[in-house]
Amino acid sequence: MAVIAFADIVGFSVLIATDEDRATLRWLAIFHEVVTPAAERLGGRIIDVQGDGTLAEFGNVGAALEWARTLHSLRQSPGDGADLPIVFRIAIHTGSVIVEGERIFGDVVNMAARLQEYCTPGGTLLSAEVAAMLPDTEREVARDLGELPLRNLSRAARAFSLDPPGGVAVPLPPIPSHLPSLAVLPLLNLSGDPRDEYLAYGIIEDVVASLAGLRELFIVAPDSARMFAGHQPSPQRAARSLGVRFVVTGGLQRAGGGLQVSLRLADGTTGEHLWGERIHAAEHEIFQLQEHVAAQIVAGVAPSIRESALRDAMRKRPESLSAYDHMLRGLHLMAASDRAAFVLARRHLSRAVDEDPSFALPLAWISHWHSLRVGQGWSEDRAEDAAAVFSFAERALALEPSNALALAVLGHNTAYLRHDVATAMICFGQALTACPNSSVAWTLSSATLSYLGRGADAARHAEKGIRLSPYDPLRYYQQHFLSIAHYSQGSLDQAEHHGRLAIAGNAAHASCWRMQAAILAAQGRQEEAHGAAQRMMELEPGFRIAEYRARRMPFQDPAIRDRFTCNLRDAGLPT
């Protein structure tokens, strides 16, 4: 039997990146002058050292706790000057071990290492077995974390946390200046059922992966946020501890024969509540809950953060705008129906690239800007804009090969401009693999499915795009593609409905009026169709049906091509 303590330095990689030689010398000095002598003084011994992790063995729990207190006191020691603090996370577990010479092995060692991942910086985490050995006065102040799933182990373990008094400053990695930062904290298991711990953890893993795939947020890894398992701090405290601006918290509980997940997004600087949602899943839907919750969080969190960041950007003086600020202003102006605003959007996106040439997202949005310019009939040189679409998408992908936005824009225009739908579908597959909850990828892929005559699939893709981004600044585009999907499958009432929503969102988009003219003509409403055709010609005076069919019409299905051509002619558009 032995008591095992595992101590790890918080943010040691940050210390190394800041000054490797100095950080290494500091750690070696602490190890030889404090860590090892303290263990020996308390009747223990150091078993193993791996980088910044130290494994120690003690004869009793009291000695292990005293060793932990000694290490925690180092962060308050004088003489460190301006150095970043050395802060430990320490886990203590007890049980039987296998001894081989100077080494020890066994499940107890693995458990201590895994439990350490949940430890608060500057705190000590105790297994249930260790906590049971504490005096009543000490056990009362330990915070019960409940059953914790342990990485690479097949079971959960109950644990208790001895938190440090007050906040502890820790070394944090630098956050990219062009991205808002976010942490998603572990969900509280309000039901207390250990089976739900794995589901709660799985949900957070899915959420973080989906948000990270958007490439517009800096997401703290779930392992870093594990310190808050079992309790929910204030948004300000969590944000300070993890070095982020925004924090997502929530809880999971069984209710009404199923599971209910509550979610909240807060600004970690002000504590302002930005978004919240309550999601319920019936018992038979629990296995689909992870995907559903991840999609709901993406749909709520990303737009809310974007809106908050845009408000900040609008308040700044032009000379103080960052790359991300310029990108947000560009997206805001891209959605405008005013041509001058649309042109200004391109300037802001270009400034974003100038401010940070390594930032792939503005390049992807510039590619999309040129695509929209062609689609709106505003292009003064269609060949030049088409070339720019592919050039900027490829530049973005050279920086980030899995950028879902760039892949989706590349896929859409490969189908729309080059009529290569096979390659387009490969691009969409890669985009949705990289980010399964990318609203742009779902929306743009619907158009290609419409071109292929797969109207029902196209409608499903467009509807999912809307669900993932219900308040998208380019929502008229979402409605337009949904209108195309319904037209391709012959659902003219639905096609007209969504076409009108698209026009209401942007009455200066020529493609919307062209589609609406065809839909109205197909319904035999000639006068209304002529009116829509006239509006389209005002936006695109050089339009001719023959040239459009030969060079621009994206429909690949012969029957839809013929039907669309006939409808455009019946709407009164020039041949």
Helix (H) or strand (E) holding 568: helix 558-570
Give the Cα separation of 87 and 170 in Å (integer): 7
Tell me which residue of 373, 359, 372 sits closest to 328, measured CA to CA: 359
Same domain, 113 and 255: no
State residue 425's pLDDT score: 95
Which CATH number belongs to the domain containing residue 348 in this structure? 1.25.40.10
* For range 117-136, the mean pLDDT: 87
pLDDT of residue 80: 44
Give the residue-averaged pLDDT of 251-267: 84
* Amino acid, single-letter form, for residue 350: S
pLDDT (tens digit per residue) in 303-353:
888 888 877 777 777 777 888 889 988 988 887 777 888 999 999 999 999
175 within a domain of the structure (yes/no): no
CA–CA separation, 482 vs 501, rounded Å?
10
Name the maximum alpha-carbon separation found in the chain.
Answer: 95
Least confident piece of the model among 151-160, 168-177, 350-359, 365-374: 168-177
Listed ranges 131-145, 180-194, 483-497, 501-515; the one with the highest mean pLDDT: 483-497
Residue 112 has pLDDT above 90, yes or no: no
Asked if the structure places residue 447 within a domain, the reply is no
Q: How many CA atoms lie within 13 A of 506 on its CB side?
A: 27
441 found inside a domain: no
Q: Select the more confidently predicted residue: 414 or 53.
A: 414
CATH number, domain with residue 226: 3.40.50.10070
For residue 421, the tally of other CB atoms under 10 A from its CB is 18
Sign (positive/negative) of CA torsion 13, 86, 179, 234?
positive
* Residues 294 and 206 placed together within one structural domain of the fold: yes
pLDDT tier at 172 (50, 70, 90 boundaries)? low
Split at pLDDT 50, 70, 90, the class of 151 is: low
- CA–CA distance, 518 with 569 (Å, rounded to integer): 8
* DSSP H or E segment with residue 255: strand 246-255
Return the CATH number at 120: 3.30.70.1230
The verdict on 198 and 304 lying in the same domain is yes
Q: Is 445 left (phi over 0), alpha (psi -120 to 50) or beta?
A: alpha
| Edge-first strand listing for the sheet containing 53-58 | 45-50, 53-58, 2-9, 88-95, 124-127, 156-162, 143-149
Angle (deg, nearest 10), helices 455-468 and 286-315: 60
Separation in Å, CA 480 to CA 136, 412, 426, 466, 531: 66, 14, 23, 11, 18
SS3 560: helix
Do 36 and 155 lie in one domain? The reply is yes
Same domain? For 405 and 275 the reply is: no
pLDDT of 519 higher than 90: yes
CB 197 within 8 A of CB 146: yes
Average pLDDT over residues 211-234: 79
Question: Contact, 14 vs 84, CB < 8 A?
Answer: yes
187 and 321 in a single domain? The answer is no
Q: What is the 3-state secondary structure (H, E, C) of 386-436?
A: HHHHHHHHHHHHHHCCCCHHHHHHHHHHHHHCCCCHHHHHHHHHHHHHHCC
Q: pLDDT value at position 486?
A: 96
- DSSP class of 54: E
Q: Is the domain of 431 the same as that of 418?
A: yes
- Count up the domains in the chain and report the number: 4
Q: Does some domain include residue 448?
A: no
Per the prediction, the chain carries an average pLDDT of 86
- Mean predicted confidence (pLDDT) in 222-228: 76
- The reply to whether 15 and 154 lie within a common domain is yes
Last residue of one domain, picked from the residues 436, 470, 501: 436
pLDDT at 270 over 80: yes
Neighbours of 251 (CB within 10 A): 18
Does residue 286 carry a pLDDT above 70? Answer: no
Instruction: Name which of 108-122, 164-178, 264-278 the model is least confident about.
Output: 164-178
- Residues 93/130, Cβ–Cβ less than 8 Å: yes
pLDDT value for 5: 94
Pair 245, 323 in one domain: no
**For residue range 436-493, what is the model confidence (pLDDT) as tens digits?**
888 899 999 999 999 999 999 999 999 999 988 877 878 888 999 999 999 999 999 9
Domain of residue 493, residue span: 457-575
The Cα 87–Cα 357 span in angstroms is 36
Domain ends where: 295, 315, 335? 315
444 lies in some domain: no
Q: What pLDDT shows up at residue 573? A: 96
> Which whole number is the average pLDDT over 552-567?
93
Q: Does 328 fall in a domain?
A: yes
pLDDT at 197 over 80: no
**Do 193 and 269 belong to one domain?**
yes
**Same domain membership, residue 132 and residue 8:** yes
Residue 383 has pLDDT above 80, yes or no: yes
* Among 436, 471, 504, residue at a domain's last position: 436
The whole-number pLDDT of residue 470 equals: 77
Q: How many whole angstroms separate alpha carbon 50 and alpha carbon 33?
A: 18
Q: What pLDDT score does 81 carry?
A: 45
Residue 272 included in any domain: yes
Residues 539 and 573 in one domain: yes
Contacts of 488 (CB under 8 A, 6+ apart): 450, 451, 453, 454, 455, 458, 555, 557, 560
More confident residue, 173 or 127: 127
| Distance separating alpha carbons of residues 240 and 13, to the nearest angstrom | 19
**Residue 167 lies inside a defined structural domain of this protein:** no
More confident residue, 240 or 33: 33
Better-predicted residue by pLDDT, 161 or 316:
161
